[in-house]
Chains A and B, each alone.
Chain A
Amino acid sequence: MIESEFAQSAVRLILLALVILLIPASYRVVVGPSLPDRLSAVDLITTLLVGIIVLLALVEETPVVVDMAIALAAFAFIGTITIARYISEGRYF
């Protein structure tokens, strides 16, 4: 458990910074000129979300929340592979 006041406020501050980082990352999803640009930006956003969920587990002090991050990473991997294959081959499987 996190005891000192300093560490608790630092974790909250870094969580806030990561949430703010989602905004410029979604800029590339909206603007990105080509399809692979948008896909890589969505991949970046899910990576940031995994980090946010880990920090959320630290704030809430419940280790079980990290399981959500593992599940999100797994589904994001499957989705990225599938859409990359759709972009390059014109089909999913």
Chain B
Amino acid sequence: MLLETLGVAALGFGAFFCAIGVLGVIRMPDTLTRLHASGKVATLGLFGLLLGGALLMPSTALRLLVLGLFVLLTSPVATHAIAASVHRRREIAQQLDDERQPGDDDDSAPFVADVTAVLSRSRLDEIVEALERTQQRRDHTDGQ
């Protein structure tokens, strides 16, 4: 009975932090702050639910432990990857802003399309370089 009460309390703790995290994801003003809020769901919320499940049904405790360890390892990595992508897009947007002349055009629209264009252009440059290298190597072998 005590075990069940504790388990329900842990489940309520987890659900409370899930609700807080979802509220933060909706209400926060910025991408990075929204990432911070969704991290709370992955740690406090999910771990509360896992602890409650292990207390309520001890036969799942081992599986829940494995799941908890896996989430503990992967969730920070995924959040870090998303944050790094935000940072890189901001860097490219800043570069584009610096390159843009004051008299060019005055609409300061968001740079989302420009950033994607820069990324695909750099990818295209890589492909062209690789093709040129193959062509040079072929010419070299033909010459011999």
Which A residues are within 8 Å of any B CB, using their own CB? 1-4, 6-7, 10-11, 14, 17-18, 21, 24-25, 27-28, 33-37, 39-41, 43-44, 47-48, 50-51, 54-55, 57-58, 61, 63, 66-67, 69-70, 73-74, 76-77, 80-81, 84-85, 87-91
Chain B 4-31 near chain A by CB (<8 Å), digits 1 or 0: 1101100110110011011101100001
Chain A residues with Cβ under 8 A from B74's Cβ?
73-74, 77
List chain B positions with a Cβ less than 8 A from chain A.
Answer: 1, 4-5, 7-8, 11-12, 14-15, 18-19, 21-23, 25-26, 31, 34-35, 38, 41-42, 45-46, 49-50, 53, 56-57, 59-60, 63-64, 66-67, 70-71, 74-75, 77-79, 81-82, 84-86, 88-89, 110, 112, 116, 119-120, 122-123
Max chain A Cβ within 10 angstroms of own Cβ: one of B21, B35, B50, B81: B81
Q: Are B26 and A84 in contact (CB under 8 A)?
A: no
Give chain A's interface secondary structure class. Answer: helix
12 contacts between A and B (CB under 8 A): A2-B4, A21-B19, A34-B89, A35-B112, A40-B35, A41-B25, A41-B38, A43-B82, A54-B53, A55-B49, A73-B67, A81-B78
Expressed in whole angstroms, the Cα–Cα distance for A70 and B49 within the complex equals 14
Having A58-B57, A87-B89, one finds 9 other A-B pairs with CB under 8 Å, namely A24-B22, A25-B22, A41-B25, A55-B49, A58-B60, A74-B70, A81-B77, A84-B81, A89-B88
Residues of B within 8 A of A2 (CB): 4, 56-57
Give the chain B neighbours of A40 by CB distance below 8 A. 25, 31, 34-35, 38, 79, 82
